[in-house]
Structure 1
Amino acid sequence: MLELRTVTSDDWPVWRELRLAALAEAPYAFGSTLAQWQGAGDREDRWRARMEIPGAHNVVAMVDGLPAGMVSGIPADDAEDSVELISMWVSPVVRGKGVGDRLIREVERWAAERAATSLRLSVMPDNVRATALYERHGFTDTGMPGDLLPDGTGREKVLAKALTNYQVTH
């Protein structure tokens, strides 16, 4: 059974568990590294601060009672009517079972409730599976340059979708 849970900074241990698993399993998919969040970087106050981004919506997917995926929606820095989808990851054990779809739809729902008109995200250019998932949900390449990659030359791809026709359902 798949259940989505909105989590707060008090839930930092489960967020930590998932984020460390994500960085270990898919280091190619994130701008952060496992090393940055381990050792001296692995502190409760840091995990809580990450989950306390103003206006953020942090969600954990539980499959059969076990943490199996995560995502956050955050307000965009540059536009009041835009939000970003960040920190998306689904455990390989449950990939292909609709967990990623549910997490994306949850961020879309949250964004629509905030009256956002667009949702964007960044994805590593060679992360073909994630790009295919996002495109299936209507995201398209904006052509905007994303963050610089560790190689100093490549950039993340920035994808976005309009939310103007999104219907909030309860």
Structure 2
Amino acid sequence: MLVADDWPVWRALRLAALADAPHAFGSSLADWQGPGDTQRRWRARLETVAVNIVADLDDRPAGMVSGDRTGVDTVELTSLWVAPAARGRGVGELLVAAVVEWAERAGADKAVLRVYPSNLHAILLYQRSGFTRTSVAEAVPGDDRPEWVMQRPLAGRRIPRGDQ
């Protein structure tokens, strides 16, 4: 799990993700470059989202994912991306599993995510990981593409806060 001081690693992966798969994210590369590309902003992103995880493959960052509470019993999985060289090697499954484990340890009853219907590889990954489609989310202002909402029930094992 990353902390604010890990912002250069998160920055490099996030910019790579936005360049590689602009169709998969609500943000654009331009949103995070130029005046928006500041240490303060990257650190704040890691401080305000509950969990941010990077997967390494062959001693190199190979993917990323985040998870955050969206309610008392719900966690949302966001920002999943796997580097092209790491695809098909189980990195996506490990990243999803890491967020699910964190969510269960935090006592959540369900995990949700949003995915564009055109992102078939991501949908198949989420289905293999136990997520099912539940609804269609409204399009975000400025982006007319509606997203699917997918959900997975969790065990919700509550562990004392000091152990999370």
Determine if the TM-score, normalized by the shorter chain, exceeds 0.5. yes
Query: Given that residues 148 and 156 in structure 1 are in contact (C-alpha distance below 8 angstroms), is that contact kept between their aligned partners in structure 2?
Result: no
Q: What is the SS of the residue equivalent to 1:46?
A: helix
Q: Which protein is richer in strand relative to its size?
A: 1
Number of aligned positions between the proteins: 158
Q: What is the SS of the residue equivalent to 1:160?
A: strand
Compare 56-65 and 142-151 and name the one that shifted more: 142-151
CA deviation digits over 1:131-155, x for unaligned, max 9? 0100111111111424437453x31
Equivalent in the alignment of 1:87: 79
Could you tell me how far apart the structure 2 residues matched to 1:149 and 1:99 are?
A: 32
Equivalent in the alignment of 1:58: 52
Could you tell me how far apart the structure 2 residues matched to 1:25 and 1:144 are?
A: 25
Query: Given that residues 122 and 146 in structure 1 are in contact (C-alpha distance below 8 angstroms), is that contact kept between their aligned partners in structure 2?
Result: no
Match runs of 1:112-123 below 5 Å: 112-123=104-115
Equivalent in the alignment of 2:162: none
What is the RMSD computed on CA atoms of the aligned residues?
1.7
Q: Which AA in structure 1 matches 2:25?
A: F
Per the TM alignment, residue 64 of structure 1 is displaced from its structure 2 partner at its CA by 1.3
- The percentage of aligned residue pairs carrying the same residue is 50
Equivalent in the alignment of 1:164: 155
CA deviation digits over 1:60-108, x for unaligned, max 9? 01111111100011011xx201000001000010100000000000001
Shift in CA distance, 104/151, structure 1 to aligned 2, threshold 3 Å: closer
Could you tell me how far apart the structure 2 residues matched to 1:146 and 1:29 are?
A: 16
Shift in CA distance, 49/61, structure 1 to aligned 2, threshold 3 Å: same
Compare 84-93 and 143-152 and name the one that shifted more: 143-152
Query: Given that residues 121 and 160 in structure 1 are in contact (C-alpha distance below 8 angstroms), is that contact kept between their aligned partners in structure 2?
Result: yes
Equivalent in the alignment of 1:49: 44
Shift in CA distance, 95/116, structure 1 to aligned 2, threshold 3 Å: same
Q: Which protein is richer in helix relative to its size?
A: 2
Match runs of 1:1-170 below 5 Å: 6-53=1-48, 56-76=50-70, 79-148=71-140, 150-152=142-144, 154-164=145-155
Q: What is the SS of the residue equivalent to 1:45?
A: helix
Query: Given that residues 146 and 155 in structure 1 are in contact (C-alpha distance below 8 angstroms), is that contact kept between their aligned partners in structure 2?
Result: yes
In structure 2, the gaps of 5 or more residues are 160-164
Query: Given that residues 26 and 143 in structure 2 are in contact (C-alpha distance below 8 angstroms), is that contact kept between their aligned partners in structure 1?
Result: no
